[in-house]
Amino acid sequence: MNPHGTITRISGPIVQASGLADAMMYEVVEVGPTQLIGEAIRVEGDVATIQVYEDTTGLKPGQAVRRTGAPLSLSLGPGLIGNIYDGIQRPLPAIAAVSGWAIKRGEKVPPLDEDKRWHFAPAAERGAAVEPGAILGTVQEAHSIEHRVMAPPGASGQLMHLVAEGDYTIREVVAVVKDAAGAERKVQMFQRWPVRDARPYGARHAATSPLVTGQRVIDTFFPIARGGAACIPGGFGTGKTMTQHALAKWCNADIIVYIGCGERGNEMTDVLTEFPEIVDPRTGRPLMERTVLIANTSNMPVAAREVSICTGITIAEYYRDMGYHVGVLADSTSRWAEALRELAARLEEMPAEEGFPAYLPSRLASFYERAGAVQTLNGQEGSISIIGAVSPPGGDFSEPVTQHTRRFIRCFWALDTTLANARHYPAIHWLHSYSEYVEDVTEWWQQVEPQWPRLRQQLMELLQREDQLQQIVKLVGPDVLPDSHRLVLLVAEMTKNGFLQQNAFDEVDMYATPAKQAGLLRLLVEFYERACRIIDKGAPLVRIRELSCIQDLVRARSTVPNDKPEQLAAIEERMRSQLDALERSYA
């Protein structure tokens, strides 16, 4: 193997080097005197085209390129939780401790702390048969996260050696596995895994339980299954990042992997400063104790942005293999696609729609299809739920990234500029969004509310009727409509203000349990059905508008705490009493 080549051409992050006839596709190379990290993405004869993950300023033709013989891989082990990495898994806090506020070119800091000692507790017995993924021991990585040290994929045989309980570094050998051929494999507390390869699992199964987010418009109207894939498209200022922050805080995933892919530096700074201060409502501990952050801002090298989502999803798969439910939040895949476009242009590839490369759909598919609910190699249940934000220019959902993303996801939360301008958050438009997971999670929801499918469908149909009636109202005004149609407008407005809208700064309203969501849904539908009967008996709509229970229903989202369902029952009793009295007066 010839380990060295010579730079012949430089175009931004794209470098060509000769003398690398033996180079493999996606092999990591070190470029120039500062040993910048790069990846071979094209090999023609003895000339390799390399995308460099760092700033290439100062590189010159004639300088050396050194092969490493391995693809771009991550270190997966204790110490990932609570850490902040760039797109190629360089730990930003550790770099800041060494170099200050700026990352020096060619800087190499171990992704995991190699000096820290972790308390290892054996979970297997010497002499036992070991299969890939078998749990050999555990480490308490964070307050609520037990890190399960697994046999790496490909390691099977007899467990010849397992260390006693004690404190060890990630580099120390904790187990030795002997295969059928007699070869011994040493196992450490960390693994190396190529970022572009999906990690193996036992079997994939249907996702039937929802990823509960506490956001009513999502959980009730457009649910995502745990192990599903969704996207949040929206123009500038519609609340994509804010929605993802709420999902990271409240969703019932065990671990969150947040990928800041090409976002503005000040926006990513807000994430890095806010996340460590957010308290996990489930444990009362800092949210960072179950979070991994990938920070790759728009001013960082474009090639690292392209690989950052692979870094995030590989870390998620590692924790999924332990039996955890992982939520991956990517903000935003549009910036990632722009990185693909820039690299493709420098490679002089034939452009497709709007200059994006022809392989944009396949790259999107390779990301979203790594979501799923699976049975792991060690027989446990784990899942990865992917929620990707899309930033279409001008809020145009017909642009290529949004359209191709819709092919590979089953849940579409369309953010609307008009709603955002009206301060209606989350600004998810109920007519432009959809979810194909509704049938999958119906059985789960019926355990909370047996009538959930009917109630949800009835309120959805009411909102659709309201939109049609609004077209008439804009032309001739609401007064020409019969009372039955004006009732639709009234209940739709109650639904928007009392159910779909949610205040992220209200301690009561920022999260709604499934039971509270189902209760509010049931009350709104019952109010509408009872009011329809009363109007059919001759009562004018103005008498219904006078009922004080209307304000009770609208305000219940912020006046009834999740842990006090009796208050919702009291509102239900007052509503029924007032409606009964009004109905009797027109009997």
Which domain CATH number covers 143?
A: 2.40.50.100
pLDDT at 248 > cutoff 70: yes
Q: How far is CA 251 from CA 166, 211, 212, 218, in A?
A: 35, 6, 5, 11
Is the domain of 371 the same as that of 252? Answer: yes
More confident of the two residues 261 and 455: 455
Q: Among 394, 409, 438, where does a domain finish?
A: 438
Is the domain of 471 the same as that of 581? Answer: yes
Q: Among 383, 409, 438, where does a domain finish?
A: 438
426 upstream amide cis, omega within 30 of 0: yes
Is the domain of 169 the same as that of 46? Answer: no
Is the domain of 418 the same as that of 474? Answer: no
Residue 325 and residue 319 in contact, taking contact as beta carbons nearer than 8 Å: no
Is the domain of 254 the same as that of 382? Answer: yes
With cut-offs at 50, 70 and 90, classify the pLDDT of residue 176.
very high
**Interval 384-431: pLDDT, tens:** 999 999 999 888 999 999 999 999 999 999 999 999 999 999 999 999
Structural domain includes residue 347: yes
Percent of the chain with pLDDT over 70: 98
Structural domain includes residue 415: yes
| pTM across the whole model | 0.94
Structural domain includes residue 154: yes
Is the domain of 402 the same as that of 501? Answer: no
With cut-offs at 50, 70 and 90, classify the pLDDT of residue 326.
very high
pLDDT for the residue numbered 299: 74
Structural domain includes residue 194: no
Is the domain of 181 the same as that of 214? Answer: no
Which of 144, 158, 103, 465 is CA-nearest to residue 282?
A: 144
Which domain CATH number covers 555?
A: 1.10.1140.10
**Interval 368-389: pLDDT, tens:** 999 999 999 999 999 999 999 9
Is the domain of 174 the same as that of 214? Answer: no
Is the domain of 390 the same as that of 470? Answer: no
Q: By mean pLDDT, which of 134-138, 253-257, 342-346, 476-480 is the weakest?
A: 476-480
**Interval 128-154: pLDDT, tens:** 999 999 999 999 999 889 999 999 998
By DSSP bridging, strand 184-188 and strand 173-178 are antiparallel
Which domain CATH number covers 45?
A: 2.40.30.20
Q: By mean pLDDT, which of 288-297, 299-308, 572-581 is the weakest?
A: 299-308
Q: How far is CA 252 from CA 62, 121, 214, 222, 325, in A?
A: 54, 27, 9, 16, 8
Number of folded domains that form the chain: 4
Which domain CATH number covers 210?
A: 3.40.50.300
pLDDT at 2 > cutoff 70: no
Structural domain includes residue 551: yes
Is the domain of 475 the same as that of 387? Answer: no
Is the domain of 399 the same as that of 542? Answer: no
* DSSP code for 163: P
Structural domain includes residue 548: yes
Structural domain includes residue 98: no
pLDDT at 98 > cutoff 80: yes
pLDDT at 241 > cutoff 90: no
Helix (H) or strand (E) holding 174: strand 173-178
Percent of the chain with pLDDT over 90: 76
Note down the domain range covering 62: 4-71
Structural domain includes residue 422: yes
Is the domain of 457 the same as that of 492? Answer: yes
Q: Among 411, 438, 465, where does a domain finish?
A: 438
Q: How far apart, in whole angstroms, are the C-alpha atoms of residue 489 and residue 484?
A: 9
Tell me what the mean pLDDT of segment 199-219 comes to.
95
Q: Where are the alpha helices (DSSP H) in 537-548?
A: 541-545
